[in-house]
């Protein structure tokens, strides 16, 4: 599979098969995150891999009760270890670094025949309490991982390039 095909094939999976993720496939996804570029190659992240069913269900409760989160056989909890660090452009360092790492992980998941869904709807303190994540670390994203029980949509609803691209300078109001 080439990168373009992988990008087109990726979709937000909210229904997973009751099938465990093989260790080698999980490690392949985690390795994709490890290899991701980060500012100054600092890799200011930790990925908490939640496989225990009871804990996954608690994480799902903390994710605004989104049951499908806990139904995935794995939930990867992406944590920023230096959430106060800002880039020179006044953007939080962790937001960029973890977005790159998680993107690589989601694309590798597709390559492995797995599916994911980026989850930003969760209670920070509840997730930290469930998983014992220390103060000073920020939970940035939850990434359920497993075999999709549904097929990707035939067509993705996306804006055309003309609505999201401007050349040389901002155009319009």
Domain ranges of the chain: 3-164
Residues 26-72: pLDDT tens digits? 999 999 999 999 999 999 999 999 999 999 999 999 999 999 999 99
Structure tokens at 151: 């097929």
What one-character DSSP code corresponds to residue 168? S
Mean pLDDT computed over 162-170: 94
Question: Looking at the predicted structure, is the pLDDT value of residue 94 above 70?
Answer: yes
What topology is assigned to 3-164 in CATH?
NADH Oxidase (3.40.109)
How does 139-157 read in b/e, with b if 16+ C-beta sit within 10 Å? bbbbbbbbbbeeeeeeeee
Q: Output the pLDDT for position 82.
A: 95
N-to-C CA span, the chain: 41
Can you tell me which residue has the tokens 């390559």? 111
**Running DSSP on this structure, what letter comes out for residue 22?**
P
DSSP letter (8 states) at residue 8: H
Residue 86 clears pLDDT 90, i.e. is over it: yes
User: What is the model's pLDDT at position 110?
Assistant: 97
Residue-by-residue DSSP string for 66-87: -HHHHHSSEEEEEEES-TT-B-
Q: What is the band of 170 on the pLDDT scale with cuts at 50, 70, 90?
A: very high
pLDDT band at 1 (very low <50, low <70, confident <90, very high): low
Report the pLDDT value the prediction gives residue 155, as an integer from 0 to 100: 83
> What does the pLDDT look like over 133-143, one tens digit per residue?
999 999 999 99
Q: What secondary structure letter does DSSP report for 65? A: T
C-alpha 94/C-alpha 85 separation (Å) is: 8
Q: Quick one: pLDDT at residue 15?
A: 97
Question: Percentage of residues in the chain with pLDDT exceeding 90?
Answer: 92
How many C-beta neighbours within 10 Å does residue 18 have?
A: 9
Please determine, for residue 173, whether its predicted confidence score (pLDDT) is greater than 80: no
């Amino acid at each position: 599979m080439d990168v373009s095909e992988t990008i087109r094939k990726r979709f937000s999976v909210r229904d997973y098969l009751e099938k465990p993720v093989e260790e080698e496939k999980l490690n392949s996804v985690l390795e994709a995150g490890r290899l991701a570029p980060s500012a100054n190659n600092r890799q200011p992240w930790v990925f908490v891999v939640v496989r225990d069913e009871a804990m996954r269900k608690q994480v799902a409760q903390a994710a605004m009760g989104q049951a499908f989160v806990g139904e995935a056989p794995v939930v990867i909890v992406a944590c920023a270890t230096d959430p106060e660090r800002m880039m020179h452009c006044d953007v939080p360092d962790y937001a960029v670094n973890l977005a790159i790492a998680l993107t690589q992980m989601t694309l590798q998941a597709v390559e492995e025949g797995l599916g994911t869904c980026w989850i930003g709807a969760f209670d920070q303190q509840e997730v930290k309490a469930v998983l014992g994540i220390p103060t000073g670390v920020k939970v940035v994203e939850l990434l359920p991982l497993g075999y999709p029980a549904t097929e990707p949509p035939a067509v993705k609803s996306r804006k055309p390039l003309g609505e999201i691209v401007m050349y040389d300078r901002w155009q319009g109001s």
